[in-house]
Structure 1
Amino acid sequence: MIQAIGLTSNARKESPPTVDDVSFDARVGRVTALLGARGAGKTTVVRLMLELQQGRGITYFRGRPLHRIPLPAREVGVLLGDVPGHPARTVRGQLRMLCSAAGVPIQRADEVLEVVGLVSLRDQRLGALSRGMDRRLGLACALLADPHTLVLDGPADGLSARESKWLHGILRAHAGLGGTILFTTDDPKEAARTADRVITLDEGRLVADQEVADFARTRLRPRVAVRSPHAARLGVLLAKEARTAKRTVEVVPEGGSRLSVYGSTCADVGETAFRHGILVHQLADEIGDAGPAVAQALPSGADPAAHETPTTGPEPGAQTRHSLAGGTPDTPNSPVTTSTFVPLVDTTPLPAATEGVAGSPGGTEAGATSSATAALSPLPPPITVRSARSPLRPLRYELRRATGIATGYVTVALVLAVSALLSVLLARVGHTPQPRLLAAWPQGLPLPPAALGAGLLGAFAFGDEFRHPALAADRGTVPRRLGLLCAKLLVGAATAVLMAALVLGCDAALLHLVYGSELTQVPADWPSMTASWVALVVACAWAGVLASGVFRSTAAGLAAVVAVPVVIVPLVQKALEGPSVRTAAGLPARLRDLALVHWPFGAERFVAAGVRMVAQPVGGALMLSLGALLCAYLLTVLRPRTR
């Protein structure tokens, strides 16, 4: 059960709030429609309910606000707009990645694919999906954790009549299993066909909360749709005959050759056209929108039907028209006009804020006391944007994210190819030390290709998250938590080390093939050189991860990696070049002397290699950059907690 109480958005400057004091209930086992014209505030209400937008009010999902639910994805399934996934990722890969994020078995991905009818398209790329298939995938993402409640914002927008019927059947089936459904729509006929209860918004205010039968009686009425090349003449004749017979018939021209006739039947309109020799192309009974009505406050216990305000004419068809003969929609080229409507105020009292949810499966009355307090308070409690939680299985999620698209594989292949070509060219030119030759690191380049590739892969770790925020569908923002950061750092380091080893192996093999074994002799200090090489690529990868996480961009992550040798190293060298009284010469030897016992397995050599690397300009600049980026990232993580 959903209980929304006093939802109010924050006003901007002098303009009124988009949503003002909206309260309603969505009951268990029923489909509830949130109806309103475009700009009425439906999406804002949904975002306030899900704590994705700041404002005032509170929403209880089975007695608990969303920030008090340990696993929100398993309680509330959300569909907001298009599926935010990487276009190159497959449908099945997207769902499996989200399974890891939600902490559910990966077999659940195949189950929901079967439910939404996407089994045959499981290997299709997200960028190639049609609008209807994207809606199906969005519904599959919402159903992935088997939630009790579904909150869907415009799920049928852009769908055909057949796809909309299928979607409504899925929603009805979920409600029949004891779930709670709330969806938004701007089509009154869709709300009447699908929902059990219709909540109507207009200009950010709740103006009606009705059962679907009352809604259909007060908002929808029968009409005759007519299409004729002589529509204007036929309209005049129908109005003239109605005045003669003293009948109430309303004829509304809808542009071109279309008419809507209220208060008549197909037989009467057809007989009139036949008597006057008027050609008719279409004649069909429809249920249409009754048009705008004046919202008025009714006395307690009054019947809304008795206070119905006649209208001067219905709004032109903002909804798809259906013929009784076959139920096929009219041609898509027909003019469609959107309209702003103000429905009649229903006198059904809004559910009390203290109403319990004992009838719902797994329900609780924990929120009853706080609901009553909120109802009696002059101002509802403030809504703050909840901090995004990390995936339940961050390492598994990061592995599926990194291996689900071809970007990483292409980057590694390019690095290997460029490194091999550079090593061969450097060996031909000569005057290049063997370590730099194996690493394909010319003297003029700030970093070797392997380090740049590691930084690029690290930048993709968070850059893709912000560009295609698959984790932000029900969170509002991409989570930047320590668990997810550690997973990205670990996967980035492993990828960088693997790529560095491949580069050394490929370069050595190619040099041995082209120039013989002279250039591939193993140096005596290979352990320290290997440690320096691994530390360089890992540090570049981590710099890319941290910079892209702080600045929310792949380009910023790669720029931070390149800025280390280009900007930070010259600054460090310039700072150290000035006159000094003392120097740190012999620091590695003195550090070794500090050890009271000998390190096992000759580990002091690796420590000395690490100290020498930090003492170098590039190593020191990398450590400085990593420290600054890590502090900035920690500030972005801890800032929401200090509010």
Structure 2
Amino acid sequence: MLQAIGLTSTPRRDAPPAVNDLTFEAPSGRVTALLGAPRSGRTTALRLMLELDAGRGVAYFRGRPLHRIAHPAREVGVLLGDVPGHPARTARGQLRMLCAAAGAPATRADEVLEVVGLAGLGDQRLGTLSVGMDRRLGLASALLGDPHTLILDEPADGLSPRENSWLYGLLRAHAAQGGTVLYTTGDPKEAARTADRVVTIGGGRLVADQDVSDFARTRLRARVAVRTPHAARLAAVVSREARAERRSVEVVEEASGRLTVYGSSCAEIGDTAYRHGVPVHRLADEIGDTGPVARAETGSEERGEPAPEPSELPPPIRVRPARGPLRPLRYELRRSLGVRTTTVIMAAVLVVSAAMSVLLARTDGTALPRVLAAWPALLPLPPAALGAGLLGALSFGDEFRYPALAAARGTVPRRLGLLLAKLTVTAGFALLLATLAVVCGAQSLRLVYGPDLIEIPANAFALGASWAGLTVGCAWAGLLAAGVFRVAGAGIAAVLAVPVLVVPLVQKIFAAPSARSVAGLPGRLRELAGWQLPQQADHWVLAVARVVAQPVGTALALSLSALICAYLFTSLRGKARW
């Protein structure tokens, strides 16, 4: 069962709240329609229940608010608007990625594809899906965790009548198994045809909460709305004439001189009022969800009387950060490998590196390490480092562009697990790219110039460590900058800023004469640690010190430190805001 109690949105400026003290229930085993005209507060009510908007009130899902549920995807399935996803990703790849986020096995993706009728379209790209297939995929995403409650905003929007029939059949089957279904709609006839219970709202307030049979009997009948200063007199006259003519006419008197007449027409009511000299201020045909109950509840507001103040304010609703994936490493691997971008970038880097290595080897002035790294003096960074930085920037940049983990929130969760997973995966791609670039360069030189050109230098280990540190550092710089500034372009700019802006500053510092020496650093570290370090540790410490002492290494270390501090600052500020 879903219980919404006292939902009230935060008003903007001087405007009234979009949802005001809304209370209703959606029982288990039944399909509940939240009915209302545009701007009636339907979507805002759903967002308040899901803690996506700030306000007051509480929503209980089988007795627990959403933030108290350990695994929300296994309790609540949500479909709000379109499904965010990279247009080049396949439907199956999108669902497999979300399976890792929800903690579900990968086989669940094929199961829900079959449930929603997309079993044969799993390899189709998201960018090629029609409106109907996109809605089916959104419903499949909501069903991934096998939730008890389904919350859907206008699920039939843009669907054909045949697809509508299929959709509501699926929702009714979910309810028949004991689940709870709540969906919004603006069509009262659709609500009467597809729901078991209809909750009608207007102006953000509850208008009626009825069983579908009562709703169809009282709210869908054609009626004439009349406003007159002599309501009682006109009601008596209309009823008397209807009895004389043996017509079935029902007249309902309401507040503020209003009448609702069932079984008649505007022409008949107007003629009757004219014959008896009754002035009429309003005369209109009505049908739909704006019946007498709505007027009875909002009559005090229309008379200018203040609305009654609640005796106790409901608890505040705080917008909470999005949940991170339950299996972050698996999620990030599927996200990275689910599109061709990663493969295309790596292939382009390897081709460019091999070609540049061949060209650099034609001159005698270029050292062999620079030839293998394909790093001419004219470029700020080698192609492998630039490619690693681009992969890192897209790792977070694509999350903000296609926020699959944070639908309708406009941001992605700043969880430590997700950050560590992205750092691990981008580091792995960077090391793989660095290794393949050197191997491709060496093989190209062997093919073009023969095997005599390749010689293993004496400091091959230190060079390899520097090369690995450069590519991984660029990948992390791009990733962190994209995470801080929420755009992939900022990550690429941060990578390029290291050699263009930071390195010259570091070179000026190292250009000054040194007054101190780091000789004896391993021994002092051993004394500081208080325990005996192995002899090999001295070699490792000195190797790391030499790498960091290089201008590029120092610049990367400074840039990464600044970006990590900025990322943590924005994360803590976001948590404090919630």
> C-alpha deviations, 1:555-608, integer Å up to 9, x for none?
111111111111122233345556x7x534x42x33245365996584433332
- The answer as to 2:553 corresponding to 1:605 is no
Q: Aligned to 2:378, which of 419, 437, 444?
A: 444
Q: How does 1:45-444 map to 2 (within 5 A)?
A: 45-221=45-221, 312=266, 342-345=290-293, 378-444=312-378
Q: Distance in 2 between matches of 1:540 and 1:126?
A: 31
3-state SS of paired residue (1:7): strand
| C-alpha spacing 1:39/1:311, structure 2 compared with 1 (3 Å) | farther
| C-alpha spacing 1:418/1:131, structure 2 compared with 1 (3 Å) | same
CA contact (8 A) 2:403 2:410 kept: no
| C-alpha spacing 1:222/1:56, structure 2 compared with 1 (3 Å) | closer
- The answer as to 2:2 corresponding to 1:30 is no
Q: Distance in 2 between matches of 1:438 and 1:431?
A: 14
Q: Aligned to 1:520, which of 430, 436, 454?
A: 454
| C-alpha spacing 1:86/1:297, structure 2 compared with 1 (3 Å) | farther
Unaligned stretches of 5+ in structure 2?
224-241, 268-286, 298-308
3-state SS of paired residue (1:210): strand
Structure 1 letter corresponding to 2:86: H
CA contact (8 A) 2:35 2:191 kept: yes
Structure 2 letter corresponding to 1:21: D
Aligned equivalent of 1:590: 520
Q: Distance in 1 between matches of 2:245 and 2:510?
A: 101
Aligned equivalent of 1:478: 412
| C-alpha spacing 1:376/1:604, structure 2 compared with 1 (3 Å) | same
Deviation at 1:218, TM superposition (A): 2.2
3-state SS of paired residue (1:60): strand
Aligned equivalent of 2:481: 547
Deviation at 1:638, TM superposition (A): 2.7
> C-alpha deviations, 1:499-556, integer Å up to 9, x for none?
1000000000101111123431110100000000001101111111111111111111
RMSD, matched Cα: 3.1
- Greater helix content: 2
CA contact (8 A) 1:419 1:439 kept: yes
Q: Distance in 2 between matches of 1:592 and 1:172?
A: 71
Q: Structure 1 length as normaliser, TM-score?
A: 0.76
Aligned equivalent of 1:282: none
Deviation at 1:639, TM superposition (A): 3.0
Q: How does 1:454-603 map to 2 (within 5 A)?
A: 454-473=388-407, 477-574=411-508, 583-584=515-516, 586-587=517-518, 589-594=519-524, 600=534, 602-603=536-537
| C-alpha spacing 1:77/1:474, structure 2 compared with 1 (3 Å) | farther
Structure 2 letter corresponding to 1:146: D
Q: Distance in 1 between matches of 2:150 and 2:118?
A: 20
Q: Distance in 2 between matches of 1:99 and 1:33?
A: 28
Structure 2 letter corresponding to 1:110: D
CA contact (8 A) 1:37 1:340 kept: no
- The answer as to 2:564 corresponding to 1:634 is no
Structure 2 letter corresponding to 1:181: V
Q: Distance in 2 between matches of 1:312 and 1:209?
A: 29
> C-alpha deviations, 1:251-293, integer Å up to 9, x for none?
xxxxxxxxxxxx9xxxxxxxxxxxxxxxxxxxxxxxxxxxxx9
CA contact (8 A) 1:10 1:55 kept: yes
3-state SS of paired residue (1:200): strand
Deviation at 1:247, TM superposition (A): 9.2
3-state SS of paired residue (1:480): coil
Deviation at 1:220, TM superposition (A): 1.9
Aligned length: 522
CA contact (8 A) 2:220 2:288 kept: no
Q: Distance in 2 between matches of 1:436 and 1:598?
A: 38
CA contact (8 A) 1:208 1:343 kept: no
Structure 1 letter corresponding to 2:494: A
Q: Distance in 1 between matches of 2:254 and 2:506?
A: 73
Q: Distance in 2 between matches of 1:212 and 1:611?
A: 75
Among all aligned residue pairs of Structure 1 and Structure 2, give the percentage whose two residues are the same amino acid.
64
Q: Structure 2 length as normaliser, TM-score?
A: 0.84
| C-alpha spacing 1:530/1:570, structure 2 compared with 1 (3 Å) | same
CA contact (8 A) 2:332 2:421 kept: yes
Structure 1 letter corresponding to 2:326: L
| C-alpha spacing 1:172/1:601, structure 2 compared with 1 (3 Å) | farther
Structure 2 letter corresponding to 1:464: D
| C-alpha spacing 1:522/1:576, structure 2 compared with 1 (3 Å) | closer
3-state SS of paired residue (2:56): strand
CA contact (8 A) 1:294 1:309 kept: no
> C-alpha deviations, 1:204-242, integer Å up to 9, x for none?
22212111112112222479xxxxxxxxxxxxxxxxxxx
